[in-house]
Each structure stands twice: as structure tokens, then as C-alpha cells.
Structure 1
């Protein structure tokens, strides 16, 4: 067989058919994942010369291009025989798959050296690093496609096929794949089929790619496109439309720069009770020790207000006690720093109902009560009804709960652990990492 790049090998009619199938696949992909539609329509098709059977002269599929590889400049490489024999929905699936590589910056994150030569079909030892990263990046993307009811073509890698947990990053999958490959390799089998997704996956230029001057969106255009995608995804989430977890995480990270969450949490707690710790105001409730030159005049003293905070802990069945102890220890440590060591903190456990209030000085003193369903509204209502009334309510939760529809009379600070939950738009929110940094 001959796979020359000579354009005379492909008829003009075949190229038109390829472009027509690409257009149909793009419409299919935009319909199945509308939150990625603008990115799908930003892809540019490049029709490659066909693979021709030297004996019959007919076009045959080239397995090296079964994934319709994409480069870092958003060009989709369509090998003629492969495109004409692949069902339109399968081509559309690959388009959605490659959007994941492009907007999640897998090429920039790739550990593969730029000078590496990648040939998925050859399977040369030097290609191992590139293939393994491609598989890890595929695993990061494909569980989100499966969540949309779009399982991949036969032979593609996925966390479910590998027996690995879903919703990890490509870097996390890479370390696990190395271990799996070593174990499976002892039996003489491949971990998964070699599928080449192009330089969009690993940053290594392929022979079929156009020269650097071959066009594609500019850096600014890509920036605007990605921000538009992220905003659209968050709008869908706010409207209660389904969006896979991986894409929700990406959109949140894309629009919200990384911050020191402990510093943010401390700032929100201080803001909640209105006055920062330290000598910040004057009060006549305690006379000043400095009489000055007018001993008959009662001067006000500087006071240090102590925050009156109540912590509501989500003790429903969906939240583990390990998570709760971690969150509570973090919050009480900050509260001690704001209000002084040894101060008593009011704590309410809540599942479907609010349990009796506890006053503790250490996280270890909290007795975790509950384990049923989830409704943080009950705990919040009980907290705001306490006397003296708190000037800040802190809720520790995974966010899988109904929330009050109206803003409270006191500030509400929601500490979310995990990635699935949400908080009211009017509340202060901070995400707490599940593992200790």
C-alpha cells in the first residue's frame, strides 16, 4: 500500500465527501455537548491524501489515523479512506474528545520531550513515553464523555476499562498507568490499543501537520474562546443543566485564579463579624487606663471584639467523619487565631434535623451526631435562632443539600469539601482540599 502525500491520489469528489461528513459530525458533536459547541466549530478540517490499495486502486482506511488526530493549532487531520468508512457519530465523538485535549492544555502539560518522534503505529520503544501520556490524557477526558452517555469506540482507554477511579487528572492517571503497564507487561499484553490523538495531546509535532505558518486561532482568540466556554459551562450549572464533573472543574479553575484558601477563609471569618481582631475600636463600656491631663473625664478604651460564630456540621451519610474532622480542625484553628486560644465555639451537627448545640474548645471535643439524609436549612435555622445571636454562621458540608432561598440576616460562610456540591450565590464560599496540603 502507498500513503504518499501527493494530492493527485485523492479525487476532488472524495475530498468533498470527507468535508461533508466532517460537517455532519461537527453538528452531531455540538448537539450532544452544546456547552462545547463553539470550540467544535473552531476546529479546521485538513483532508489528507488517501491510503490506496496498490492491487485494486481503491481507497482503504489507514489505522494510524483512526482517531482523526488534532494538532495544537486546532487542525483536524482527516485521512480520506478512514473518514469515508467511519460512522458520523464516531467522528463526532473524536471531535469532542480532542476538544478536551485542546482546552485542558494537555500539550503544555505533557512530560514528553518536544524532539520525540511519535509514530503510534510503529510502536517503537522510544514512543512509550508519548503513548503513555496520550493514554493518561485520554482517561482524563473519556470519563466525562461516558457521563454524557457517549461511550468511546472499541479499544479506547477509560478509567472504567482500566479499573481506576474516575475524575482524576492526566498526571494522576499517568503514575497509575505506569504501575498497571508493568504488571500487565509481564504477561506479554498491551495495556490498551495505541491511539494517536496528535500533538494536541502531547505537544510533539507530527509529519502530516501543516507548517507553523499554516494558520489556526491566535493565542488571543484561544484565550477568548476558552473563557467563553468556561462562562457557558458555569451558566449551565447555575441553570441546573447537566455538565460532567471534569468540565465543571475545568471551568471553575479557568475563571477563578488559584488562591490561598486558608487566607481566604480567615478573611471571610473576620469579615463576617464586622471587626478584625486586635484593638480596632473605642468603647465606653470599659474606661481607659490613661487619664491624661483631664482626670475628671472618662475616656473610652480600645476594645478587641471576639466573633460570635456558630459552626453547622453536615453529618449526613454522604459526608465521612474523616472529612468532618479535617474541616472542623481547620476552621477552629483559624477561629482560635482570630478570637484567641481557649475560646468556646458553638457547634451544631445536622443531617435532616439539627442536633443539640455543643460548646467546645477543640475539634476533638465535637461529638458527631447524625448519619441520615441532608438538609442544612434545619441547622442554619437553628443556628440563627440561638441566643446570643451569632454574627456569622459557618457551614461545613459537601454541598449536596437544599439551601435557604433568601439571604440570611447574618453572614453565611459555606466551606465545601469535594467537587460535586454547591452553595447559594449570596453566601461566601471557600473550597477546602480533601487532603492536607
Structure 2
């Protein structure tokens, strides 16, 4: 005992010194993430001690220095003392990547009630959680490699796996699935089963909580992320090198919020007006610019009403309630431009398109589907219609492959939620995941 209370274990001072050195190394190698590295709150866990020497014994289950969503970094003493400073610093940058990019909020993992996950749970993590962890690791490690920061042995590396660079975790999941299945047939594992904690999937581990680490509040995290994004933008303005993944994140993070309804309306109207501007000659209504003494009847110029087709993502990741409300929004915009009671063709699509529906109102569309997601099939079906549409509006969460080439029609993508992506050749409107009910405009029923 000391005058101030119980004496700290002999190893604790050495562990804290190792963590401090790792922080400095990480901040020096990635200065644009320095504030995030120093925001991590180390929580030193109870170690397993060697029976003969009393020294902490390394636990490989904690080799990734797992973190939780409150920015607590869980440090197992034996593992920390056995890990070189550079490797511990690399894991800090890795965990900052999970936290700042919101992998826990984006996670598709939904464990059964009462199921425990993680290294201390005594159960094997399910395959979905393991694959999401690997895909999220690939998204982060890609940018670390761009800084010439190679990860420890056994971690997922897009470059070493031959995967394309600069993709999101959602895009890496199916790629890694294919590689893992191929390697399983050869009797090998794709990579080691490394657990990064609840920072990657939002599912609390048994070693978390218990008052051992308070971490950051929601406001603290919000302010920290804004500071990081502003710092990255400053480096970009000064022409300093920043990996493309962090550039993309910072651009999205500091992008000013806009009224999504105004954005959606402007995007759809722009698509409609672009198509409607394609005028042509017609003899159905003779031109009024005809001389009194001529037998020649010239055609008039007409502006066709845009023929619009909806492609609706009805995979399991998009709720029917959100789709119904978004359909009402889009339908109202189309009617305001093209007039009421126009014919509207629509496809529901998950991994395949369902039969085309021809309706007068979006509320008449019967939603069908619920499997995987492949909007390429829906767009191809829309372009195969006759007459071919002038405008294709795709309602999706963006977790889908897209056609490599621009279709012949103008395409507007309504992206639901904060995830997913749209192709460069499409016009895009980002829609919140929780679409509030539409208030009818004056004169609407």
C-alpha cells in the first residue's frame, strides 16, 4: 500500500510507456490523424500472469488492441509488452480508421438475442461478423498502405489479395467472400481471424463496460471528426499527400447539409427537363408560320413528355415503408413536371427484375422481392423496354454493382441512407434513411 492507495502493478508503468511511445509514432507517421490517436482512451485489462515469474502473458486474441465505439482502446498488458512500438502504433491508426469511418454504424451484423461476440466470449464469431471485420480492415489498410505503413502478418491487405484499391467495406465483402470460398477449397484460410472489437460492428464484447472506461461522448466524437476533416482539407489545400480514402471521407464529412427534398426535386426535374429539351419535328400539328400563298405545309417543333421508368431496389436491406414514402416523393415531382395521370412504368428488382408494372400513381406499385441486390439487372430491363425510356430513376441504398457503361437513357439515382455509392455517369440525390411522410402540395389529393 502507498499513502495514496493501492500500489499499481509493476508492469502497468511499462505498459503505459509503451502506449505513449506508440501514440507518438502513429501521430508522426499520420499527422492528419494525430488528434484522433491522442483521443483514444487506453483501458488496461487484467492480465494472465505466468505462474513462475509473475509476468504478464501475451494473449493473441487481443493483438489488434480492440476498441469500442466510445473510443476506449483495450490494452492487454502481456500483448502490449510483447508488441513492438511500431506495430502497436499501426494498430492505433487502424482502430482510428474503424471509429472515424463509422464501421459500427454501417455494420450488417445482427447477432441473436443474448449471443456474445468477441475474443472473451467463449464462442466462435459468426461468419457474417468475421467477414465484415475483414472487409472493414481492407478499407482501412488500403489507405495505410498508401502511406507505406504495412500491416502485421495475417491482416487483410487489398494489394496482397489482388483486390482493387479505394473501395468501401460494403464493396469488399462480396470480393472477399469469393476469395475465401476459393481458398477454402484448397484447404487454406484467407487471413487470420482478428477481432477489432465493437468499433467495427457495434456489438459489445464481454471485456467492455463495467465502468472501466468512459470514453468520448457523442458531442466529443462529433467535434473530433469535424476537426479531423478540417485538418485533412487544410493538408489537401496545401498540396500535402493524404490517402484517397481519407480524402473522400473528409470531403463527405465537411459537405454542408442541404434540404434533401429540394435536392431530390432539383435532380429529378433536371433529368426531366434535359430529356424534354430534346425537341423534334412533327406533322401532327402544322406549323403556324405558313405563308398565305404556299402549298407547302412545314412541320412544327414539338417537345415530347419524358417517358420515365422507375427501378426500385426491393432487396432485404431497404425497408418497404421507406420505399413507399420515397415513391410518393418522386411521383409528386414527376407529376409537377410532366402533368398528372401520366403513364409510369416501374420495375422492382433485387438480384433480378420482376415483371414491369404500368401504373398511373406510384401508390399503385406492388413491391416485390427481398433477396440480394443487383441494379444492373433492373437498369438493363428498363433499357430493353419498348418504347425505350428517356429517363430512368433508380431508388436504392447503393449497396449494389452498377453497369460499367452509361446507359442510353438519362439516369437519376436516389441513394437512401449514408452508405452505398452511385456511378459517376448518373445524377445523384442523397435521401435520409428515415424518410418522413410527404405533405401533399396545395391542390393534391
Fold match (TM-score > 0.5): yes
TM-score, L = length of structure 1? 0.57
Q: Does 1:110 align with 2:107?
A: yes
> Residues 273-312 of structure 1 correspond to what in structure 2 (within 5 A)?
none
Match of 1:21 in 2: 18
Aligned residues of 2:72 and 2:215 also touching (Cα < 8 A): yes
CA distance 1:70–1:192, change in 2 (3 Å): same
Count of aligned pairs:
269
CA distance 1:168–1:29, change in 2 (3 Å): same
SS of the residue corresponding to residue 71 of structure 1 reads coil
Aligned residues of 2:90 and 2:149 also touching (Cα < 8 A): yes
Residue 177 of structure 1: how far off its partner (Å):
1.3
> Residues 128-139 of structure 1 correspond to what in structure 2 (within 5 A)?
128-139=127-138
Which sections of structure 2, spanning at least 5 residues, go unmatched? 1-5, 278-336, 338-420, 428-445
Match of 1:73 in 2: 70
Aligned residues of 2:142 and 2:166 also touching (Cα < 8 A): yes
Match of 1:251 in 2: 250
Match of 1:434 in 2: 424
TM-score, L = length of structure 2? 0.56
CA distance 1:11–1:51, change in 2 (3 Å): farther
Residue 56 of structure 1: how far off its partner (Å):
5.0
Aligned residues of 2:61 and 2:119 also touching (Cα < 8 A): yes
Match of 2:39 in 1: 42
> Residues 259-274 of structure 1 correspond to what in structure 2 (within 5 A)?
260=263, 263=266
SS of the residue corresponding to residue 68 of structure 2 reads coil
SS of the residue corresponding to residue 165 of structure 1 reads coil
Deviates further, 126-135 or 199-208: 126-135
Residue 120 of structure 1: how far off its partner (Å):
4.7
Residue 123 of structure 1: how far off its partner (Å):
9.5
CA distance 1:248–1:106, change in 2 (3 Å): same
Residue 127 of structure 1: how far off its partner (Å):
2.3
Among 79, 84, 88, the alignment partner of 2:81 is 84
Aligned residues of 2:121 and 2:205 also touching (Cα < 8 A): no
Which sections of structure 1, spanning at least 5 residues, go unmatched? 1-7, 271-276, 278-336, 338-430
SS of the residue corresponding to residue 77 of structure 1 reads strand
SS of the residue corresponding to residue 67 of structure 1 reads coil
Match of 2:139 in 1: 140
Residue 57 of structure 1: how far off its partner (Å):
3.9
CA distance 1:121–1:146, change in 2 (3 Å): farther
Aligned residues of 2:120 and 2:207 also touching (Cα < 8 A): no
CA distance 1:266–1:29, change in 2 (3 Å): farther
CA–CA distance in structure 2, aligned partners of residues 240 and 266 of structure 1:
37
SS of the residue corresponding to residue 135 of structure 1 reads helix
Residue 128 of structure 1: how far off its partner (Å):
1.6
Post-superposition Cα deviations, 1:256-308, rounded to whole Å, max 9, x if no partner, equal 148759947998xx9xxxxxx9xxxxxxxxxxxxxxxxxxxxxxxxxxxxxxx
Aligned residues of 2:118 and 2:197 also touching (Cα < 8 A): no
Aligned residues of 1:70 and 1:199 also touching (Cα < 8 A): yes
Residue 54 of structure 1: how far off its partner (Å):
3.6
Residue 62 of structure 1: how far off its partner (Å):
0.6
Residue 255 of structure 1: how far off its partner (Å):
1.3
Residue 86 of structure 1: how far off its partner (Å):
0.8
Residue 118 of structure 1: how far off its partner (Å):
2.1
> Residues 62-211 of structure 1 correspond to what in structure 2 (within 5 A)?
62-114=59-111, 115=113, 116-120=115-119, 126-211=125-210
Aligned residues of 2:116 and 2:206 also touching (Cα < 8 A): no
Aligned residues of 2:43 and 2:213 also touching (Cα < 8 A): no
Aligned residues of 1:144 and 1:244 also touching (Cα < 8 A): yes
Deviates further, 250-259 or 42-51: 250-259
Match of 1:281 in 2: none
Decide which structure has the larger Cα Rg and report it: 1
SS of the residue corresponding to residue 210 of structure 2 reads coil
Aligned residues of 2:43 and 2:74 also touching (Cα < 8 A): yes
Q: Does 1:234 align with 2:233?
A: yes
Residue 117 of structure 1: how far off its partner (Å):
2.4
SS of the residue corresponding to residue 20 of structure 2 reads helix
CA–CA distance in structure 2, aligned partners of residues 183 and 162 of structure 1:
12
